[in-house]
Amino acid sequence: MKHTLVVAIGVSSALILLIILQHNLAFQKNGTIVLPAGGTYLGPTSSPPSPSLPFLPASGGAVHGQKYPYSFQTHESVKLVALGGAFDIYALSINNQPPENNVLIGVDDLNRTSELKKYIKGSKRAYVENWWKQFSALKGVETITEFTNKKGMKGYKATYINGSTEDVFFETPDPKYVIHLANGPLDQKIFDAIVDSVLWENE
Same domain? 53 vs 70: yes
Same domain? 72 vs 19: no
Domain extent for 168: 38-200
**What pLDDT is stored for residue 85 in this prediction?**
93
CATH code for the domain of 108: 3.40.1000
Same domain? 27 vs 87: no
Same domain? 24 vs 42: no
**What pLDDT is stored for residue 185 in this prediction?**
87
pTM: 0.73
**What pLDDT is stored for residue 22 in this prediction?**
55
Helices (H), 29-152: 38-41, 114-117, 125-130
**What pLDDT is stored for residue 12 in this prediction?**
61
Overall domain count for the chain:
2
127 Cβ contact partners less than 8 Å away, ≥ 6 residues apart: 110, 116, 119, 169, 178
Q: Which residues of the chain have pLDDT under 70?
A: 1-60, 203
Query: Rounded distance, CA 141 to CA 159, Å?
Result: 6
Same domain? 14 vs 71: no
**Segment 69-94, tens digit of pLDDT:** 999 999 888 999 999 999 999 999 88
